[in-house]
């Protein structure tokens, strides 16, 4: 039987002890690009994931883009209002029972507490008013309640429905012709009145998925079943050709690599078990998967600290590469490894110089605090090390002061000139390394980098994230290389004009096994 106890997946994932990720001081929650709120997840749902009992998504959600217009959150216990205000920097005297604004995903959304353990989030005032109107009606007059919110026996229910006053947005034939998915579902978009996706986990941990469409005629529902059969045939062919006998490259996230075979088998089972049924104006597609998928999801969740740390390091290196590009646009060349102050003659690192170009106010303030007329290791400048600037450090770095990203210096490298210029790179920029990750106890403010001779042996660099090396190239890309990467190829990509092409291994695409 599927009942409220089947919220156990969400509950258990948040109650289990995750495997420890990187233990360095730079291991942080997921970081985000400038303009996006760094507390994106918490601020989007307003309450800690571990306290959520139900997530109910409904009311004009666009199933093509996955953006619910209305999100109702029910918690296990009453919400600690004081703590919520403190966590999300809300005014102490704010009345949460009235509509107030939050800023998830860089854009404003509205929220309102409707009960001690319930909060509703809406994408606009219109959707909030729709909900409040529904909430204020007597229960016996809430005729649309069944289509707005899920029954209690589902983890979540995701529904799209058209309000009576909503103008129909017809997908053009041109859009359909350019999008292979729209070729199948485009005509359905004109006849569907409600689309509901439900997912539930039974007591035996088997997963049940159900997609129910309500159409404006029985003919449209029958057409939807035919479109489903066309789509299933495409998915079956795709699975057989590209997924059934594939593997992920080792440079992919380790949880995905480890669990990939299980996920493929689960997908195969979901495809094989999928059934469609037409009943009047309704077309229902449902499928089921054995508990193996549940166990796989738990295993992946347990490795999330490592995935987060890996993603943060990739983001940090991209941020450094972007700042290098901005510096080059301003000055006509990259910053040299060591920059000398024109007045005092004291040396500072290129890492310090990039702080002002990081599009981060805190880093800009840090740059202003750095005393360029003093040595990098003066008493005042050494105090800045305690700021623990993670943008130059890996999540696996245990020294809070040490850098992880370095230039490679030496004859023939991109930085063998006093004013290193991008035009000096005659090899493909995608095959020329600018930044290398390495484990060295070198403070990030210290004007020191790696010598070419000390970089040749990948094993001596200090491995990033489980026998891998992270590098940034002259075309602003980040690449992940295994420590057994060809020594000859490694030497070639450290040079800017040796004329030798290097094949960078595929990073993320599943690889077809040889037969």
Of 370 and 132, more confident: 370
pLDDT tier for residue 350 given thresholds of 50, 70 and 90: very high
Residue-level pLDDT at 500: 93
Q: pLDDT tens digit string along 167-222?
A: 555 556 666 666 666 666 667 777 887 777 777 777 788 888 889 888 989 999 99
pLDDT exceeds 60 at position 238: yes
DSSP bridge partners of 366: none
Residue-level pLDDT at 77: 86
Mean predicted confidence (pLDDT) in 117-133: 83
As a whole-number percent, the residues of the chain with pLDDT over 90 amount to 40
Among 182-191, 218-227, 458-467, the least confident range: 182-191
Task: Indicate the average pLDDT of the chain.
Answer: 81
Q: pLDDT tens digit string along 65-85?
A: 445 677 778 888 898 899 888
Helix and strand numbers, DSSP H then E, in the chain: 15, 20
Residue-level pLDDT at 15: 47
Q: Nearest Cα to 162, choosing from 68, 67, 61?
A: 61
Rounded to the nearest 5 percent, the helix, strand and coil shares of the chain are 40, 20, 40
Mean predicted confidence (pLDDT) in 221-230: 92
What is the rounded CA–CA span in Å between residue 36 and residue 17? 29
Residue-level pLDDT at 42: 45
Residue-level pLDDT at 38: 41
Structure tokens, 133: 């109107």
What is the rounded CA–CA span in Å between residue 379 and residue 261? 55
Q: Nearest Cα to 208, choosing from 274, 161, 152, 109?
A: 274
104 in Cβ contact with 68 (< 8 Å): no
3-class DSSP assignment, residue 217: coil
pLDDT exceeds 80 at position 161: no
Provide the 8-state DSSP code for 122: E
Q: Nearest Cα to 437, choosing from 467, 410, 412?
A: 467
Among 200-204, 264-268, 400-404, the least confident range: 200-204
Among 6-10, 34-38, 50-54, 485-489, the least confident range: 6-10
Among 167-181, 243-257, 337-351, the least confident range: 167-181
Residue-level pLDDT at 230: 87
Of 245 and 103, more confident: 245
Residue entry with tokens 């969400």: 10
Residue-level pLDDT at 62: 46
Residue-level pLDDT at 412: 95
Mean predicted confidence (pLDDT) in 117-140: 80
What is the rounded CA–CA span in Å between residue 484 and residue 104? 42
pLDDT exceeds 50 at position 515: no
Structure tokens, 381: 């400048």
What is the rounded CA–CA span in Å between residue 92 and residue 383? 35
Residue-level pLDDT at 95: 93
Contacts for 291-294: CB closer than 8 Å, 24+ residues apart: 291/204, 291/205, 291/206, 292/262, 292/265, 292/266, 293/207, 293/262, 293/263, 293/266, 293/269, 294/9, 294/201, 294/205, 294/206, 294/207
Beta strand ranges found along 191-319 (DSSP E):
192-201, 207-215, 246-247, 275-279, 282-289
Q: Does the predicted model carry a pTM greater than 0.75?
A: no
DSSP-assigned letters across all residues of 397-410: ---TTB--EE-EES
Of 132 and 175, more confident: 132
Mean predicted confidence (pLDDT) in 394-418: 93
Of 12 and 510, more confident: 510
pLDDT exceeds 70 at position 469: yes
pLDDT tier for residue 146 given thresholds of 50, 70 and 90: very low
Which segment, 10-14, 251-255, 448-452, is predicted with the most confidence on average?
A: 448-452
pLDDT tier for residue 378 given thresholds of 50, 70 and 90: very high
pLDDT tier for residue 63 given thresholds of 50, 70 and 90: very low
pLDDT exceeds 70 at position 387: yes
Phi and psi torsions of 70, nearest 5°: -140, 130
What is the rounded CA–CA span in Å between residue 19 and residue 384? 33
Residue-level pLDDT at 65: 44
Q: In sequence order, which residues have a C-beta less than 8 Å from that of residue 75 and are 6 or more positions away?
A: 47, 51, 52, 53, 117, 118, 119
Among 145-159, 269-283, 344-358, 363-377, the least confident range: 145-159
pLDDT tier for residue 47 given thresholds of 50, 70 and 90: confident
Residue-level pLDDT at 30: 75
Beta-strand pair 282-289/275-279: antiparallel
Of 91 and 494, more confident: 494
CA triple 22-28-33, angle to 5 deg:
130
Q: Nearest Cα to 75, choosing from 48, 105, 36, 98?
A: 48
Of 433 and 69, more confident: 433
What is the rounded CA–CA span in Å between residue 156 and residue 173? 33
């Amino acid at each position: 039987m599927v009942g409220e106890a089947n919220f156990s997946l969400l509950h258990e994932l948040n109650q289990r002890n995750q495997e420890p990720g990187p233990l360095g001081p730079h291991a942080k929650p997921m970081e985000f690009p400038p303009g996006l709120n760094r507390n994106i997840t918490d601020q989007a749902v307003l309450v800690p994931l571990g306290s959520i009992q139900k997530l109910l998504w409904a009311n004009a959600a666009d199933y093509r883009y996955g953006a619910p217009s209305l999100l109702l959150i029910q918690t296990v216990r009453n919400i600690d209002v004081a703590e919520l205000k403190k966590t999300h920097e809300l005014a102490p005297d704010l009345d949460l029972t009235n509509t107030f604004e939050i800023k998830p995903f860089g854009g404003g959304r509205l929220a309102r507490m409707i009960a001690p353990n319930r909060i509703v989030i809406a994408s606009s005032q219109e959707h909030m008013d729709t909900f409040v109107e529904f909430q204020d009606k007597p229960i016996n007059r809430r005729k649309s309640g069944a289509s707005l919110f899920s029954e209690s026996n589902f983890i979540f229910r995701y529904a799209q429905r058209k309000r009576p006053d909503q103008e129909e947005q017809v997908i053009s034939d041109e859009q359909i012709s350019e999008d292979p998915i729209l070729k199948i579902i485009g005509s359905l978009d004109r006849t569907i009145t409600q689309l509901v996706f439900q997912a539930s986990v039974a007591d035996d941990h088997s997963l049940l998925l159900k997609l129910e469409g309500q159409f404006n005629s029985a003919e449209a529902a029958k057409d939807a079943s035919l479109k489903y059969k066309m789509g299933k045939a495409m998915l079956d062919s795709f699975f057989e050709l590209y997924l059934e006998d594939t593997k992920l490259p080792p440079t992919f996230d380790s949880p995905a690599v480890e669990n990939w075979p299980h996920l493929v088998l689960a997908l195969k089972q979901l495809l094989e078990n999928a059934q469609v049924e037409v009943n009047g104006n309704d077309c229902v597609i449902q499928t089921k998967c054995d508990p193996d998928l549940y166990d796989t999801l738990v295993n992946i969740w347990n490795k999330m600290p490592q995935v987060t740390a890996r993603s943060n390091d990739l983001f940090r290196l991209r941020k450094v590469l972007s700042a290098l590009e901005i510096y080059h646009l301003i000055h006509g060349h990259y910053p040299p490894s060591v920059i000398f102050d024109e007045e005092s003659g004291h040396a500072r690192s290129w890492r310090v110089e990039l702080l002002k170009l990081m599009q981060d106010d805190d880093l800009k303030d840090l740059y202003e605090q750095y005393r360029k007329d003093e040595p990098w290791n003066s008493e005042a400048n050494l105090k800045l090390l305690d700021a623990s600037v993670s943008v130059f450090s890996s999540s696996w770095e245990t020294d809070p002061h040490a850098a992880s990203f370095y230039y490679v210096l030496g004859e023939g490298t991109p930085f063998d000139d006093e004013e290193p210029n991008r035009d000096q790179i005659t090899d493909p920029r995608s095959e020329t390394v600018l930044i290398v990750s390495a484990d060295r106890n070198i403070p990030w403010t210290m004007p020191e980098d790696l010598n070419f001779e000390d970089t040749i042996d990948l094993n001596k660099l200090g491995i990033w994230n489980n026998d891998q090396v992270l590098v940034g190239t002259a075309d602003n890309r980040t690449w992940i290389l295994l420590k057994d990467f060809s020594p000859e190829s490694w030497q070639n990509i450290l040079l800017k004009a040796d004329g030798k092409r290097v094949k960078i291994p595929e990073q993320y695409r599943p690889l077809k096994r040889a037969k």
